[in-house]
Every structure is written in structure tokens, then in C-alpha cells.
Structure 1
Amino acid sequence: MTSQTAQTAVEQSHLGTISVIAWSGENIDDGRDVAFLLAYSLGDGSAGPEAGEKAVRALLEQTGLPVGGGIFDGSKSKEPISLLLESGSASLTMPSLRVQCLVPEEWTAAALKRKHVHFIFTTRPWPGGTPGVPVDAEDLKAFVADEEVIAASAHCVIPVTTLRK
């Protein structure tokens, strides 16, 4: 797994570097793989990590994604959220944020089979998820499973679109 950098449509210096990681894993309820996409800040914004957390929370609120709630249907957000899957990459678009990252084949297969991805955007900074540097699976698991991270995250299901007919 390699972290990738997001490109923001509007300069928001408090957000700092926003990164995204894609991985897939088995759903304990049905035994089928789920495609996950995690977005987070490195906490390196111009006003520090605390201001970065507030900026991410404001972005999520603007979009209508509840932080700390259950799994939300991304197709019902206040602002549009979309995910385009094409040629081994995923492009996520939401207000003031565009993310494109390479995704592994097993992630693509899971996303296409389920026709959605589980998107997690945490307000908690993760300086250990440096863009372009491989992230150890155990480090990713520890971060995503941390109770404070879960409580500080918006979770939603986003439908997958493709250019295929």
C-alpha cells in the first residue's frame, strides 16, 4: 500500500497535506471483500494539527458527512460526492477536494463487485501515512481501528461509477 496526495480545488492552508490510502478486506458479515478508501491529513497545515482537525471537520460538515455517526449513504450528502474508477485508479470528488490514487487490482474487483466503496475521512491527523511511502498493513490497521480515530471519522458508502457501459 502506498499513500497518495490529494489535490484541493481551493487553497485551504489549515488542512495541510491530505492523503488517501486504498485497501480491501473481507467483510465478516458475508465473507466478500470490501474496497476501503481512507482520507486523512498529515497534520502539517499552516496553523498546526489542531487547526487541521477543525478544517477537516468543517469540510465534512460542509459536505454533509456526519463525524462519529454510523455508515452514511454518500449519495444522500448535501454536496455531491462521486467516485470514478478507471484504468487502475480511483478519482474521488467532493466539495473543495479532488483525490486521485492508484488502486490495487483486488481493490478494483471488490469495488466493482459491490458497486460501492466504504469511504472513511478522519479528522485525526496521521503523520505516519506519508505520501509516496509504503504503509505497513499493521500500522494502517492500528490507525483505522483506534477508537479515537473511529469516533473522529465520517464513514460513508459511495457508489462506484465507471466509463464502461
Structure 2
Amino acid sequence: MTSQTAETAQTPVEQSHLGTISVIAWSGENIDDGRDMAFLLAYSLGDGTAGPEAGERAVRLLLEQTGLPVGAGITDASRSKEPISLLVESGSASLTMPSLRVQSLVPEEWIAAALRRKQVHFIFTTRPWPEGKPGVPVEAEALKAFVADEDVLAASAHCVIPVTTLRK
């Protein structure tokens, strides 16, 4: 009789395959209660060293290792396998998760919604979005079309992240 053993070491995320990771923040009405919700979308531009397909796989691996299931509804980041945090301070949001730290300037209305709710709805899609380049304004309709696309939604992890601040 032979037995197989599971590999215990996790495959590391190939950082160069991720490419440029960008984030976009916006606030809008939450369909559940009609109040403003702060949203944060993370995505790759698909410009990693091994191309967009490898970038999708690298993002998926990063999400799996963090404990954020892709295509499985909204989870609570405080219950993920690995720590995920969001610091909101001085007009910016700093997202920290294993193998990734992203900082973004965010609008005042986003900050107000995030602080009121004490959480942010975070979406990280495995689908690349080369049109969403950092520093280039994104039209609201283009963002809405990307975020509402069924393929993008199915290829995304959704979670709520508690907001932390430096204020006491």
C-alpha cells in the first residue's frame, strides 16, 4: 500500500507576474440599506512579466493564500487566513495584505462613508483592467461597466474590511 502526502509548502506568489496593481475608491448607495458605502476596487493592469493570463493566476493565488474566496459572495476580512488591514488617514487609504501594500488618494465623501460605517467593501478582481491606469482619470461609466460585468464579478473576491485610523 502506498500513500501520498500533501505538499505543505505554499507556492509563493510571483510578484513580477502580478504586474501593476491599482486601486480605485468610490462611494455609493448600498442596495441593502440605502446609505453610502465606501468601495475599494483592486486589479492588475495585466502588465506583468509573463502576460495577463499569468497575472490572473498570480492574483487568484494571492487571494486564495489570503483566504479571500473568488466568486463566493462577501466575506469578512477579519476572518481571513492572513491579516488584511485598511488604514484611512489624511486623504488616503493604505491597504495591507500578505505580499501586497497599496496606497491610494481617496475622495472626502469616500472617507466620510468609510468612517461612518467603520468598514469598506473591498473588491479584488483577478481580471486585468489595462484601461484603469494609475494617475489617469476613469470615467464613472467606464468604472461602472467594468465593476458590473458578470465575468469581472465572478472573477472577484469581495469582503468587508474594518477601517482603522491613527486617531484615538
Quick check: TM above 0.5? yes
| Residue 30 (structure 1) aligned with residue 33 (structure 2) | yes
The residue that corresponds to 1:52 in the other structure is 55
1:27 CA drift (Å): 1.1
Q: Distance in 1 between matches of 2:30 and 2:14?
A: 37
Residues 53-101 of structure 1 show CA distances to partners (whole Å, capped at 9, x for unaligned) of 0000000011000000010000000000000111111011000100111
Residue identity (%): 88
Question: 1:6-155 residue pairs with structure 2 within 5 A?
Answer: 12-155=15-158
**2:118–2:162 CA contact under 8 A, matched in 1:** yes
Q: Distance in 2 between matches of 1:27 and 1:163?
A: 26
Q: Distance in 2 between matches of 1:49 and 1:105?
A: 33
Q: Which has the higher contact order (CA 8 A, sep 6+)?
A: 1
| Structure number with bigger Rg | 2
Over 2 Å off, 4+ runs: none
Paired residue secondary structure (1:65)? coil
The residue that corresponds to 1:161 in the other structure is 164
Q: Distance in 2 between matches of 1:155 and 1:31?
A: 19
Q: Distance in 2 between matches of 1:126 and 1:153?
A: 13
Count of matched residue pairs: 156
Paired residue secondary structure (1:101)? strand
* Structure 2 letter corresponding to 1:148: D
**Structure 2 residue runs without a partner (length 5+):** 1-12
Q: CA RMSD in A?
A: 1.0
Paired residue secondary structure (1:46)? coil
